Structure 1
Amino acid sequence: MATTTVMNPLLCKRVAALQDPQEVFYQDVVRGLTATNKYLDSKYFYDTKGDALFQQIMNCHEYYPTNCEMEILREQSAQIIQLVQSYGRQFDVVELGAGDATKSIHLLEQLLQIDPDFTYYPVDISGNVIHQLERSLPEKLPSLQLHGLNGEYFEMLHQANILSSRSKLVLCMGGNIGNFTPAETKKFCRQLRNYLQPGDILLTGFDLKKHPQIILNAYNDSEGITRNFNLNLLHRMNNELGADFDISKFDHYPTYDPGTGACKSYLVSLENQQVHIGTHTFDFAVHEPIYMEISQKYSLAETETLALQTGFKPVANFFDEKRWFVDCVWLCS
């Protein structure tokens, strides 16, 4: 799930710096809904209402990844920062998909105690998230130097490199990297490595494979918040693109394949219908799915192989008590 897009907010497929964001949104929607197998880009989950719904998801008792990683960072941030500091460099911190920073704040607190001379660059596709961070975080950490970056991950990482020549500690937590298929993840990690220098460090979270029902419940909570989160994208298209989705004619359907580790979410059309967006008309057959997002699960061995294949060296792994989640420290080799 995108913490954020995922976003994930995470699919960095198009650079839209010189284009109208609404036009890019429209083009992406048309591209997805005219595909043979319809899909929508999960990075668009995160408008103001989507941000609020995702915060509710993270507080659901079924949605374990947040609590697992929070436990890691609450209990082991000192060890993580000590490990980072052992490389003897001054690091600025860049967080991809910063969200509300409730987890990364533990790392920032530890780093401020050791070496307050660093800048924190939170990156998020949601301008609302960045604005909230710029208001709230200085109240919690008055000595923190903060520079928010609103946009796509790689474009904003490039901006961070322009703003600071220091080594980077890059945070990609919350299982955000799981918002890619394994092939896309490998491509993403290789691209990420191209924006970093030898000696830079990546701290990235992976949701580990476990009993399938535990995973499936996390994406099909009893309160229906995840369902509303997915359906909210249809509301957003109605509000921002002038679409005429009848939300009551779609339902949320999650799946999990324990063999591949792929947890996917779909919206399913409940009847034959047409939807209009701008000059386009889209036909939906009864039971036709719209692919919304993936949340990929990994074994520990798979995370280590991924690091080695994409230009990183696995350095350390930090687990929650149940070993359901891992934050991996990778060194740019």
Structure 2
Amino acid sequence: MANKILVFLEQRQGQIKKSSYEAVSASIALSQNLNSEIEGVVIGGEVENVRLAGNYGLKKLYHIKNEQLENYSSSAYTDSLLEIINTADAQIIVFSSTSMGKDLAPRIAAKLDCGIVTDVTEWKVENGEIIATRPVYAGKALTDVKVKSEKKIFTLRPNVFKAEKISEQEAEIEVKNPGDLNLKTRVVDIKKSDTKLDVAEADIIVSGGRGMKAPENFKLIEELADLLGAATGASRAVVDAGWRPHSEQVGQTGKTVSPTLYIALGISGAIQHLAGMRSSKYIVAVNKDKDAPIFQIADYGIVGDVFEIVPAMIEELKKLRTIEHG
């Protein structure tokens, strides 16, 4: 069938990532408008609950299974995925725009000599063709893109498309055992915090900037984040100063995030930072400078001292918790 869609589902330590289910749901909606088939592919060793992809509308899933593929290998993943693209005769290949997706998708595009649109925030079908929308100029503008090549690749920005369970049906799994693996590049080990949420996938983020004045003051941000069940983020200036790890950096040279709620504390709002978070659904900003650029995109702004306002926010949240559990 023309315009067959293949969605790449990313797994990490045997668990399919939430952003992959978002890509599935977005692709299901697209396939209905194109009247096309849709299948998925996951690469790894043992993947827990792999059949649950069917809950999101995916009827068939290829599982390229080998314990040596548990961690990412750009060379082996590229070769394995190309084989499935040919087997499935897919014309549209969809990735989530995660770190892995950003690395793997361009490799596949180069091998297939086809067009690619990255960081898509919206798409639609007009006259049988896909029109994809993506941010440009550090997020200050949006552009609509049409891919002319026969095969097309898209990466979708996480937390923009909603992952929706639409049935109780499980996906049919076709296991593929790859032959000789090209493992000249591979991830040897992954170290992940047991307590911190990944800022790139969190639904709520509390971020701090230079207005926090010192690294020890980030305990306020951590406490607020803990009460909200949020991830902690940081501006580039804070990371460059060594106050916070690079994994928390939000912005053009850090991570692009699209949470439901983004709380910016002591962040002035340099264009590089705004590029990484301006697509958040709701933005709350606290800054003592009433002319700070962050207020231009904030849904709610508080002009004041973070060291007065944040403790007050924490206190109110604690009261709410007490009422809820009282």
Same fold per TM (> 0.5)? no
Q: What TM-score comes out, normalization by structure 2 length?
A: 0.29
Q: Which has the bigger relative contact order, CA under 8 A and spacing at least 6?
A: 1
Bigger Rg over Cα: 2
